Structure 1
Amino acid sequence: MDSSSSSSPRNSNKYEVFLSFKGDDTRDNFTSHLYSALCQNKIETFIDNDLKRGDEISQSLLDTIEASTISIVIFSERYASSGCCLDELLQILECKHGYGQIVIPVFYRVDPSHVRRQTGNFGDFFSKLEERFPQKLQRWRNALTEAANLSGFDSHVIRDAEETDRIKDLQKQLLSKLLNDGNVRNVRFQLKRLARKKVLVVFDDVNHSRQIESLIGRLDQLASGSRVIITTRDKQVLQNCWASQIYEMKELVYVDAHKLFCQYAFRGAHLDASYSKLTHKAIKYAQGVPLALKVLGRHLCGNSKEEWESAMRKLEVIPDVEIQEVLKISYDSLDDSQKNVFLDIAFFLKGERRDVVISFFDAIGFEVKIELSVLDGKSLITCLDNQIRMHDLLREMGREIVRKESIDHSGKRSRLWYHKDICEVLKKNKGTEAIKGISLDMGKANSEIQINPYTFSKMTELRFLKFYGSENKCMVSSLEGVPFTEVRYFEWHQYPLKTLDIHAENLVSLKMPGSKVKQLWDDVQNLVNLKKIDLWYSKLLTKLPDLSLAQNLEILDLGGCSSLTETHSSIQYLNKLEVLDLDRCESLRTLPTSIQSKYLKRLVLRGCSNLKNFPEISSSGIHRLDLTHVGIKELPSSIDRLSKLDTLKIHDCTSLESLPSSLSMFKSLTSLEIIYCPKLKRLPDELGNLKALEELRVEGTAIRRPPESLGQLSSLQILSLSDNSNLERAPESIRHLSKLTSLFISDCKMLQTLPELPCNLHDLDASGCTSLEALPASLSSKFYLSVDLSNCLKLDLSELSEIIKDRWMKQSYNYASCRGIYFPGDEILKLFRYQSMGSSVTLETPPPPPPAPAGYNKLMGFAFCAVIAFSVPDHHHYWKGYLYCDLKVKSEGSYGHLHSWYLGEFSYLESDHVFLKIISYVEADSVFLRSYLSDSEDLVESFEEVYEVYFGIRCPHSQCLDCEVKKCGIDFVYAQDSRRPKRLKY
C-alpha cells in the first residue's frame, strides 16, 4: 500500500483528515500510531488499507482528497518511489490552492532538505521513476519542493519531547494521576508530596535520563516501596538514573517464537505441514526477536510456498524495511565514529576477541574502547567471554546501510560482503578507493574466481580482507608489489600461493589456515602492530621469517604445520607472546634454547615426535602443558619456573627416561598424567610434595615400585597405577590418603598383593592383575566400595566369599548403595534365595509372613547376581559390553516392562565371572520395590502378581554372540540383619 486517506465527498464531511503515506515504510509503525491517536480524539480519519495498489491513483481516492479538510503528508525515505503517492501529493496541493485545504507535512526519518531538493536516498528512489514517467517528473519535483517548504513536523523533533514545552504538560498530567489531584500548580510542592506516597510508574522507550528527572525528579527521593520501571535502548540511561536492577531482554525461545510467528503467518489457524520447513527457516532468520517474527509472519501471510521461498531468498540480500527501520533507531543516535565502528564489527569483526578488535583500531590511531562501551550500552553489540557478539538482524541492518551507499555500483561501497558483488568487483576490476573492507564466503561462489592483482592496487583504503570457507575459489597469480599498506586484517583460507609477497606495515592479524605457503617473506618486516599469526595446518610451510620486529606479537599458531623443521630464533625474543601452538609439527626438531616472554600462557608441543629439546621457559603464567607424543628424553630442571601449572600431561613420550626432582615444586598442580612412557623407571621421591594434586595417573611405564611419598599427597582423589607390567607392589602409604576415592591398578601382571585401603575409597579396579593372590583385610570394612577383580585368576575365592558375606551381613545402608563387585567364579552366592539357571528368575507376592522383630525388617534395596561366560576365547580383548536387568510383571498371561537397571560394564573375561550389584531403594525407584515398603494391606494385595527379573548383555559396538548369562539370582537387602522383608513369601 502506498498511501492512506481521509474524507469522502467534500460536502458529506464524512472524514476530516486524509493521510498520505508510503505503506511499506510507515504503515505498521508511525502511521498506525498517528491514525489511532486521531481516532481516539474523535477525528474522523480515512486510511486506505489497500495493500496492493499500483502506480495509478483511483478516482474515488481523488474525490476523497478533494472532500477532506486537512491532508497530512508523511514523507518517508521511499515515499517518492511511488507514482501513486506523488499523484496524491499533486491533488493535495491543487486542493490547497483551489479552496485552502490545510496541508501538514511530516518528515519521518528523512531530512526535509532531501525532500525539497530530491537528494540523498530519497532522491535515489525518486530518480528511478524518470524512465517510466518522464512527462510527470517535473510536476512531481515542483510538488515535492513546495510541500517541503511548508511548516510541518520533523519526527526527530517530535521524538525528543524533553526539548519542547510538552514535557511540562506531561509532568502535570503524571502528577495529577499519581496524586489524584486535578489541580496541579506548584510542581515543586507536588514532588514533595509524591515523596511521601508509594507509587508504581512505567516509562517506556526513554532515550535520556533527563526525561525521567524532568517528569518525576530523582528516583531515590520517591517513597520507600515505590517501583519505577524504565524501558530504553540505551543502558547508560538506566545507569544515569541509578537503576537498582537492570534486566536485558532475551530472545524468545523456539517454542514461543514459533507460536508468535504462526499467530501472524497463519492467523491462528492450524499450521499446514507443507509449510513447516519454511516456517522453521523464517523463525531461524528472526532469531527470537518479536518484532521480526510479527513482521515476517504478517508479510508472508496468505502467500504460496513459492512466494515464501522467494521472500526468504530476498531477505538474504535485502532485509525487511520495517524491521530495519525500528532497529536503525539506535544506530541513528550514534555519532559518525561510532557508526563506523559498528559497521566494521558488523562486516568483519563479529565474533572476534575484544582485544583483537581494539588492536585493529589502535593500528589506525583510533581509541575504540569508549565506542565499544557506547555500542554495548545501546545493545548494538555484546561482549561475552572477551568476544564481541552481535545479533544477526543488527548485522544485516549494517549491511543494508552500506548497500544503500551505492545501490547500483558495488565497487563504490565502503564494505563488501555479498558474494555476487565481490565476484563482480574482483573479476571485472571494479575496485575503487571507496572500499575499506571485503569479507567473502568462498563456499557461496558458484565458480573459481580469477583475481586480477591490479584491482587490489585500486583499493588504496583497503583495511580488511577476508576470504574464508572450506574450499578456496579465489585464484591469483601473484600479490607482489600490491600496496597493502593500509590493511590491518588479512585472512585467506587455503591461500594458493607459495609466498606472501606483500608489505603490510599496519597488519594486526594474519590468518591463513590450510594455506599452500612454504614461507611468508624473506626480508625482515617492521610489523609493530602485528598481534596474531595463524598458519594452522599449512602443511607445506618449512620455515618462519625473522619476526624480531614484531615485538607485539601475542599469538603464533603453527598447529598442523607438518613440514616445519625449525622455528626462527627470533621467537625467543617476542616478549609479549602469549600463545605458541606447535601441535602436531611432527618434523620439528629444535626450538630456541629459551622463550623469554613472561606473558606466555599456552605452550602446545603435542605430537612433536622429533623434538629433542625442551626450551627454558621464563613465564610463570602457563596453566596447562601437554607433552603428548613428544620426542624429548628429559625435562629440564628449570621447568619448576612454571609455578602456576595446574595440568601436566606426558603421554606417549617413548624416549622419556627420567623426570626432574623439581617437578615437586609445582604448588598449583592438580592433575599429573604420565602415560605410556615405557623407558621411565622411577618417579621422583619428592613427588609427595605436590600437596594440591588431586589426580595422579602413572600408566604404561617401567616403574617397579612407586615411592612411598605418594602417601603424602593429602589432596589426592584419583590414583591410577594401571598397565605397569613391572609393578611388583603398590605403596603401603596410600592407606593414609584420606581423600582418595578411586584407585585403579588394573593389568599389573606382576602384582601379587594389594595394600591396605584408605578409609573413603569408593572404587577399586584391580582387573587383569593375573598374579594377584590375596586381598587386604580392610576390604571387608568398605561397605560402599565398587570392586572390579575380573580376570584375577589366582585370587583366593574362599577368602573373597567371606569378605562379601561380612560386607553384606554387617552393613547398614542408610539409603546408600554398594555399587558392585566382579570376580572369577561360576556359582551364584548361596546368600541369594531366588536364583536359577539361565538369564531370568521369577518372584511371586503371596500373603505376608509372620511379623519380624522390630528394627530388623526395614527393606533397603535389591541385590542382583549373575554369572557371565564367554564361549569363544582369546580374540575379544578389545570387546566391551555391559550387564543390565529388566523387571517385568505378568498380567493377563503376558509380561509388561516395569523398570531397568544398569549393573556394570566389563571387557573380555578369560573365565566365567560373577557379577554382584546392590541397588538402594532410592536408586531402584520402582513401583515394585515401593509395594514392599507400603504399610497398606490393600496396596499389597493389589500387587499379588508374578514378577520376572531378566538379565541381559548389551554391546554398543558389536554383537554379543559369544557372551551369555549362565545363572542369575536376586534378593532383598535390609538394614541391620538378614531377616526377610515383612511382606515377602519365599
Structure 2
Amino acid sequence: MVALFGLGGIGKTTLAKIVYNQLCDRFEACAFLGDVREKTERMGLPSLQMQLILQLKKERVNLINEDEGINFIQGNFRNDKVLILLDDISNKSQLEYLGGKSEYFGPGSRIIVTTRDPDILKGRKVYYHKVVGMPGDLGLRLFSKHAFGLDYPRAPFVDLSKEIVKTTGGLPLAIVTIASFLSEEEEDIWKSKLEALRKMPENEVVMKLMISYDALTPDQKQIFLDIACFFIGEDKDVAFCLWNDLKLNPALQVPVLQRKSLVNIFEDDDRIWMHQQLRDMGRAIVKRENDSQPERSIRLWKHRKPSGVLEWEMDEEHLRITLEPLQILTVTNSDLKQHPNLRYLHMKGVNISGDFNDCLVELRYLRWAEAPPKFTVTHLNPKNLVILDLSGSDIKSGWVGWKHFKGAAHSLKVLNLSKCSGLSKTPDLSIFPRLERLILVDCMSLTEIGSSIGHLSMLVSLNIEDNLALKLPKELSRLKNLRELMLHNSPFIFRVPVSGEFLQRVRFLSSPCCESSTTPMVLPEEGLRMPITFLRDYLLEEFPISLRRLQELRQDSPSYRQWSRRHPEEAKDDAIHMEELCQLQETGNHVPENPAPIRPPCRIAILEDHFLYFYCRSHPPPRPLMWALDAYTLLMRVSTRLAAAFAY
C-alpha cells in the first residue's frame, strides 16, 4: 500500500491519478474511487463497494450492507492482480470495507490511498509520501495559466504574481482559485488582495479561498453554498431546474463560478463537482453564519438531536434527516412546522405521519430515500415542489404516496425513481403534466412504461439506463419536446417505436449493449437527420441514404479533419475507398436492386472517440471504413446496398 498525505488542496489526488493512469496497463483489473469521504456520507459504503466491484469485475451486484460487500471482495479477487486508488480516505472503516488490505487480492496487487490524516493507516504496512507545495517556478506558471492564459505573467504583473504565489504556500488549489479571481481585475485590486493574503497564516487555506467567495454576488453565493451542502455529484440539469424556480439564473451564475474555479461541470455526464477543500469551506461558512447569529440561524450544520436516532442538518431553508440503521422513526407535522420556509428536505428511511396542512408549502426539493411502502398522512400539499427524488425506495406503481403529491401537479419538473427495485410499471404520470425530466435508472423489476407518458408534453429528458427487461411504449413518439433519450446498458430494448420526426428532435441517444442480441434495432426510413452524441453497438436492419451525403458530413467534421492531418496516408486511402463505394452505389454495379436481407444484419458502431466503423458482421472488409463524427453531427443512414457491397 502507498499513501499520499498532505494538506487539502495540495495536489494529492492529481498526483495519485497520474501514477494510477501510468500503471493501469500492468494490472489485470483497476478501480478508482474518488471523493470517498464525501461519497460515504452521501451514498454509504455499500454503494462504494458496488462501484469498486463493478470496476474490478465488470459485474453489477446488489449489497445490503458493508459486511456483505467486504465478504464479496474477499471471496472474489484473491487471485487477481489489481490496482486500486482510494481517494480522500478519512477514517479506518472506509479503508477496511473498501478492500484496504493487500491479502484480499492476488500477488502483485497495489493499493494507493490519499488522505489528510496518515494516522488512520497505523498498523498497516504502508509506504508514505508527503505531498508538499509546488516549487515557485511551477507555481508561477500555473498561476499565469489561469490569470493570463500564458506561461508567464504580463509585464505589469510579474512581481505581484510572484508575491501572490509565495503567499499560497504552493497549494495548487489556492493558486488556481486566486488566479481565476484576479484574471479580469485591475492592478489596484491585485495589490489589495496581496495585502490581505499576507496577513493570513501560511497554512490557513480556507481564509485564502474566501477571497474568491467574498467577491461573489448574493445569487452566486447561494448557488455555491447549495452545491457545497447538497449538490456535489448531482446532475447539473436537475439542479438548474431548482435554481431557475428560485430565480437565481443558473445559466448565468454557474459559468461565473466555473471561471473562478470554484465549481466544475464534468463534460461526460454533466455532474457537478467541487474540490473537497472548497466544499469544506462552504460548509464552514454555513457553520460560522449560524454561530455568529444563532437567533437568526441561517444554517445549522450537522446538529444532532439528543436522542441519537436522527441526524439533523437544518436551517430556515434546509433540513436533512438521516435514520440510523435498524431504527424506525416517524416524523410528524410538529417536527416540520417549526420550519415554515423549508426548501430542501432530505430524508432516508423515515416514515411521516400527521396533518401536514400548511407544512412544506415552500418545499422545492424532496429527496426521500427508502420511502416506506405505506404511511398515514393528511393534507400533504407540496404545491411548490420542483424535484421529487424517491430513488432507492420500496414503492410500486400503486404506492399510496402518489395521491399526496398531486398538489405538485403544476410545479414538479424532475421525478427520480432510480433503483426502486419493486417498481414493475411506472405510476400514472399524467398527474405531473409539467414534468421535464424522468429518471428510471436501474429499476430491476421495471418492464413497462405506462401509456400515460404520452401526456408529458413538456418532457425533455428520459433516462432508462441499466434496465434489463423494459419495453418502450408507442406513446413515446408523442413527446414533442423530448431531446434526451438514454438507454445505455438496457440490452433488451431493440425497437424504438418512433417516427423519423422524433429522431430528428432527439439530440442525445445513448445506445444499449446489444453484444449478445440477434434482434436488430429498427430505425424508420424517414429518420434521415438524427443528431446524436454517440450511437454504439446497434444492430441495424436497414440504413438507406446516399453515401455522397455521408461523405460530405465526414469532410465537414472537425474530428475527421484533425484525424486526417495526423494520418495523411490512411486518410488518402480512406477517401479512395469511399469514392469507390459511392460510385458502386450510384451505378448499381454488382449490387442487386432488391438485396436479400443480410443475416446477420449490418453492424454499425460509433466509438467514443467519434470514429465510426461499419461493416457486415459475416463479411467484414479487410480494413473497416472509417470516418469521424462530432457530437451532434448528423448521422445519415447508409443503404442496405452497402452491406451487400461488403459481401465480397
TM-score between the two structures when normalised by the length of structure 2? 0.48
Larger radius of gyration: 1
Q: Give the helix-richer structure, 1 or 2.
A: 2
